[in-house]
Structure 1
């Protein structure tokens, strides 16, 4: 096997921020980008072609021709629900509404064993890795109203899988706490016990509570007490009068929590009038509250009561971009009652984001790539998650001759490098599915 201390040389590499047709040679030493250089037409480089290599073959090679593939920083999926993934067969949603999804999942939660939760988390995490995601932030249901022990055991199951996969990928765990202002002392003790388990942040969906302001107050108190960041589901509604983000902005200022708060969804922002929305976006920029758009689930769940022209449901992506608010895109739910589709592929989510937010120019698509890499990396607490000399190398190789083809074809092959080694490699799905190994263990649902 190739020594990890030996240099890794990649050539015929494309980088999205550079002009079409330009190829690069990259040298990696000890898991760090040593050199990134433009190739000239006269460059005569020879090495193993990546299309001919399996993941086991890759570890034996130190000079690799990537055949014009794009090299992107590995994906950061900053808003997921690994514990719910692939639960649709157990928890159907006949109406397709958010309300039924919440109700049905909560009613069924008591029947889910720790083993089942672990299987879902593991499957979704490994499938995400196979598509190029090396860091995931997962929100975890905390079913305190059903059973205190159940809440803790399901959370513990997620944390155990986090440790299982640590050598290949990183998972941040954010339990979702609800109705904090009305909890009795005993239940608050359970919540504080959960926060002592090694979770990374505090989550919730305060807009669903009749006492949303008081609940938000408690969330900030807990975050300060335990030294956690805050990542909330915010205003996932069509109703423009539902606007908890304003109180979140206020508390962020009071607690000096700038740069430590992330707001996902923000659907009602698109339903309200332009002036009010612009004011909120400007205040979010001033308080450095990060935003996350979830196009898959939001398009599916929102606008259910609309007639005629049906709203897309997503937040004001372009307005955030133009106002200097850091905004990421993420996969949210996969194959569960909240979103029956998806495949843990952030490039697919990027395509949905491009459609719904009208991001189509070359510069907009380059920024869209940042919404899946550099921007969520900042929310995650990662520094220098980009392709640059003297920076840790964590990347995914994808097929595509230009940036439009990158999103149009969704690259059936992916090769993922992280922590100084190759952690995943998949060839063309078309070629793979013609073989007898169409179903595998771990990795993607299709066996890849």
Structure 2
């Protein structure tokens, strides 16, 4: 019997409605609407375009059923870069000058007063908001440094278990304050990985010299090899490559390839790319693509902190998304921070972030918007290493979102209610909204 039957779902605008059958947390069939209830055999999978082997059982009366009535279903959204430990700090102390240096300084000061209880409370609020907005996986970057120690990592490891049935949390050991510049950080990162952190992080530009930045990158990637985990670095986060510490794309690509880490390294921000000359930028993107290094623009933060020194022709400061696509670089986007010194905005809604990215990136029309949506779903799954068990296809884990819109092309534009959020075949969130218009009676004359 099916554990959950999702009826009359729209999964593609050029295909008929379908039924999605879920058993034991996985999608076992995607068939034309009505087939799952009749138990007919040999039904095609309209999403994959191939015949389904083994027809679904008729829906069991006791099984859960969601009748989409033509609403869109997409794979679960993936927050591929989120700082839960530093969320919701803006009310405690905002960034005085709006710069990256100011954000790091303010947050460093606030971290000295962190308690496990406070970090847990703020992180929970954002995790639960993200779940309600359709997020089924979060890659979280808690700070690891001599200021805060492993407090953030320990809290996030606990939340990873607490929310396991509702959202998957990958914990990154992130050295925000640098490694060489902050003695003792390397030992803390090692301990974080021994305690169960899933990913080794980096902040390649936050060192005193270019040589130290290179050592930072090499240290992070060596830890990735040693512990058998992916690496996820903050890199090239400036308006341009004038300071060589913010022009490390090629170095990171080559260091990744030398260690055989292709497909296991992601770079957040990478705003300096937008400030490079076109031919130089194209060469850097080619190197990143060849090394299988993913890029994750963080548009809320990148736009807010970037261009602060420009008084005319203010730069947008976001990695060039269309060029990433054209170069074959795997790309996602994410919220990064929620209401703190780095980003005083946001509510952990990836569809809001995606619409903003489209607006500032000159991305429009059905093809572009579909690709932007993929950056928060299938492409993000590749970035965080779950592509083999993810997606709207037979055999994938049933992480799905039912949206209150009836065209896939309109998902970003409509900012739809998340009617239901499904994690591993179980409904973990529902949202309903009703609007009643009180209009004066129109004249029929």
Report deviation, 1:91. 2.4
Q: 2:88 aligns with which of 76, 82, 86?
A: 86
Runs of 4+ in 1 over 4 A off after TM superposition: none
Structure 2 residue 13 is the aligned partner of structure 1 residue 18: yes
What are the residue-to-residue correspondences of 1:153-302 with 2, within 5 Å?
Answer: 153-177=151-175, 178-181=177-180, 184=183, 188-210=186-208, 211-241=212-242, 242-302=246-306
CA gap of 1:395–1:232, structure 2 versus 1, over 3 A, is same
Distance in 1 of aligned mates of 2:144 and 2:207? 15
Secondary structure at 1:143 match in 2: coil
Residue matched to 1:47: none
Q: 2:127 aligns with which of 104, 125, 128?
A: 125
Distance in 2 of aligned mates of 1:429 and 1:108? 41
Contact 1:74 1:133 in 2 (8 A): yes
Contact 1:270 1:313 in 2 (8 A): yes
Residue matched to 2:318: 314
Q: Is 157-166 or 228-237 further displaced after alignment? A: 157-166
What are the residue-to-residue correspondences of 1:38-187 with 2, within 5 Å?
Answer: 38-39=32-33, 62-144=64-146, 146=147, 150-177=148-175, 178-181=177-180, 184=183
Distance in 2 of aligned mates of 1:306 and 1:343? 28
Post-superposition Cα deviations, 1:365-384, rounded to whole Å, max 9, x if no partner, equal 22222111111112222114
Secondary structure at 2:141 match in 1: strand
Post-superposition Cα deviations, 1:309-336, rounded to whole Å, max 9, x if no partner, equal 2111100110010111110111111111
Secondary structure at 1:151 match in 2: coil
Contact 1:268 1:315 in 2 (8 A): yes
Secondary structure at 2:81 match in 1: strand
Residue matched to 2:58: none
Distance in 2 of aligned mates of 1:220 and 1:10? 43
Report deviation, 1:31. 2.6
Q: Is 273-282 or 417-426 further displaced after alignment? A: 417-426
Residue matched to 1:444: none
Task: Give TM-score, length-normalised by structure 1.
Answer: 0.85
Report deviation, 1:126. 1.1
Contact 2:2 2:21 in 1 (8 A): no
Distance in 2 of aligned mates of 1:260 and 1:305? 34
Secondary structure at 1:134 match in 2: strand
Structure 2 unaligned segments of length 5 or more: list them.
Answer: 39-60, 437-445
Structure 2 residue 26 is the aligned partner of structure 1 residue 32: yes
Contact 1:413 1:429 in 2 (8 A): no
CA gap of 1:426–1:327, structure 2 versus 1, over 3 A, is same
CA gap of 1:222–1:28, structure 2 versus 1, over 3 A, is closer
Distance in 2 of aligned mates of 1:343 and 1:179? 28
Residue matched to 1:418: 423
**Number of residue equivalences:** 405
Report deviation, 1:349. 1.0
Contact 1:132 1:414 in 2 (8 A): no
Structure 2 residue 400 is the aligned partner of structure 1 residue 395: yes
Distance in 2 of aligned mates of 1:392 and 1:216? 34
Report deviation, 1:60. 6.7
Secondary structure at 2:142 match in 1: strand
Report deviation, 1:404. 4.5
Contact 2:302 2:318 in 1 (8 A): yes
Secondary structure at 1:208 match in 2: coil
Report deviation, 1:218. 1.6
Q: Is 407-416 or 325-334 further displaced after alignment? A: 407-416
Distance in 1 of aligned mates of 2:410 and 2:181? 52
C-alpha RMSD of the superposition: 2.2
Secondary structure at 1:391 match in 2: coil
Distance in 2 of aligned mates of 1:385 and 1:155? 26
CA gap of 1:349–1:183, structure 2 versus 1, over 3 A, is closer
Post-superposition Cα deviations, 1:332-369, rounded to whole Å, max 9, x if no partner, equal 11111111111101111111121122221212222222
Report deviation, 1:389. 2.2
Secondary structure at 2:344 match in 1: coil
Residue matched to 1:53: none
Post-superposition Cα deviations, 1:106-154, rounded to whole Å, max 9, x if no partner, equal 011111111001111111111100100010001111232x3xxx31223
Report deviation, 1:94. 2.4
Residue matched to 1:386: 391
CA gap of 1:188–1:402, structure 2 versus 1, over 3 A, is closer
Contact 2:30 2:394 in 1 (8 A): yes
Report deviation, 1:80. 0.5
Secondary structure at 1:329 match in 2: coil
